[in-house]
């Protein structure tokens, strides 16, 4: 595990950047009421741009990290291995989608600069949604093949997790700081917090459904949750989610009704002030900030799971025999497991997804020929 820590950090950095982009766009499109757009569009637009810059950097870092992890070679050999990873592996082919989608996202972001053109941000959302799919297509969900149900389930899970965590982050950074002093009618403030609560609730519902499906697929039962390293990390993740859910429930059923009541009072008595509403808004802001911290920890735990071995995958590989698959030209080599139960190559341990690329030495026994091009392997 210690040798994987740098790569876990890179994955966490990339997932958090992705969540920040999707969340800031979601806040601008679905959380901000129309009457508050002039107040909050500019800070949200700037936050989206900053998040896109981080996502661009994390995409490059992800390529470098995955190349080093697969080649098991030092950094100074990166120039040799990086082109091979890009051109000869499935990961490289899928990663190449990222630069194209980042260009689309940057163009859409520039087009959405004015509040009247805020719908151009849908282009940012769609582009980053495709980038999110590249994560699902190069991780555990791809073990069963491309375009399979596990990939789609994982993709939906990642999108809604980004909307939840990233939306709260955007609200905390770009909206709440100026919300109390913003020249907004009480009904607009009320609509904003109600929208925030609704978007978080919808995202949570989708996360729970897809999370249960994924957990069942990877664990293969209830016992591995308590008797495997993968299960232990998942338990930590579930504990963090439970805390975030409790905070969200407090927001939805305690603070939002208090803000709603204050809005109704001010509507009935124009000019009336209500300290309870102001205090509820302050407590909501503090609670959302804490919830965002816990959700960031959830994303880090998710990155750790990406570099772990799911119990069901480990069981499918146990009892298999190591087979060596070499590209016809002999430039790259990968370790795989061949199942004794079937003649088809079963998913390998983390070696097939994360690493082992090395030079084929002259005279080695290339006993196993690939039935498909090397580039199609899920590296």
- Calculate ∠ Cα 117-123-129, nearest 5°: 145
Mean pLDDT of 183-208: 94
Q: Is the pLDDT of residue 258 over 50?
A: yes
| Higher pLDDT pick, 275 / 1 | 275
| 1-5, 79-83, 214-218: least confidently modelled range | 1-5
**How would residue 223 be classed by pLDDT, with cut points 50, 70 and 90?**
confident
pLDDT of residue 268: 60
pLDDT of residue 272: 52
**How would residue 277 be classed by pLDDT, with cut points 50, 70 and 90?**
confident
pLDDT of residue 185: 87
**How would residue 206 be classed by pLDDT, with cut points 50, 70 and 90?**
very high
| Higher pLDDT pick, 161 / 327 | 161
pLDDT of residue 221: 80
Both tokens of 333, joined, read 């080599």
**How would residue 357 be classed by pLDDT, with cut points 50, 70 and 90?**
very low
pLDDT tens digits, 10-22: 999 999 999 999 9
Gap between the Cα atoms of 295 and 232, Å rounded = 18
Both tokens of 250, joined, read 């407090």
Locate the domains of the chain by residue range: 2-311, 314-376
């Amino acid at each position: 595990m210690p040798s994987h820590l740098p790569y876990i950090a890179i994955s966490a950095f990339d997932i958090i950047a992705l969540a920040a982009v999707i969340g800031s766009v979601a806040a601008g499109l679905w959380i901000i009421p129309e009457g508050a757009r002039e107040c909050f569009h500019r800070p949200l637009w700037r936050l989206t741009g900053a998040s896109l810059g981080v996502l661009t950097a994390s995409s490059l870092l992800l390529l470098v990290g995955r190349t080093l992890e697969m080649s098991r070679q030092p950094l100074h050999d990166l120039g040799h291995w990086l082109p091979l990873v890009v051109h000869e592996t499935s990961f490289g082919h899928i990663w190449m989608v990222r630069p194209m989608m980042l260009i689309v996202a940057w163009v859409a972001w520039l087009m959405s600069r004015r509040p009247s053109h805020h719908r151009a941000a849908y282009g940012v959302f769609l582009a980053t949604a495709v980038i999110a799919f590249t994560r699902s297509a190069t991780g555990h969900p791809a073990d069963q093949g491309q375009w399979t149900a596990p990939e789609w389930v994982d993709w939906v899970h990642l999108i809604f997790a980004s909307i939840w965590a990233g939306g709260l982050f955007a609200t905390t950074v770009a909206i709440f700081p100026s919300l109390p002093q913003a020249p907004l009618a009480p009904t607009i403030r009320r609509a904003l917090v109600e929208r925030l609560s609704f978007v978080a609730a919808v995202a949570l519902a989708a996360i729970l459904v897809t999370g249960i499906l994924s957990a069942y697929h990877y664990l293969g039962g209830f016992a591995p949750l308590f008797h495997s390293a993968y299960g232990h990390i998942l338990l930590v993740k579930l504990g963090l989610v439970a805390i975030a859910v409790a905070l969200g429930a407090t927001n939805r059923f305690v603070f939002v009704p208090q803000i709603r009541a204050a809005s109704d009072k001010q509507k009935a008595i124009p000019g009336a002030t209500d300290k309870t509403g102001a205090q509820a808004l302050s407590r909501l802001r503090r609670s959302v900030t804490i919830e965002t911290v816990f959700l960031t920890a959830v994303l880090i735990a998710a990155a750790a799971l990406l570099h772990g071995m799911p119990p069901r995958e480990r069981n499918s590989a146990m009892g298999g025999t190591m087979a060596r698959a070499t590209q016809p030209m002999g430039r790259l080599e990968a370790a795989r497991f061949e199942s004794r139960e079937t003649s088809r190559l079963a998913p390998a341990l983390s070696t097939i997804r994360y690493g082992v690329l090395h030079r084929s030495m002259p005279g080695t026994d290339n006993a196993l020929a690939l039935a498909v091009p090397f580039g199609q392997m899920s590296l």
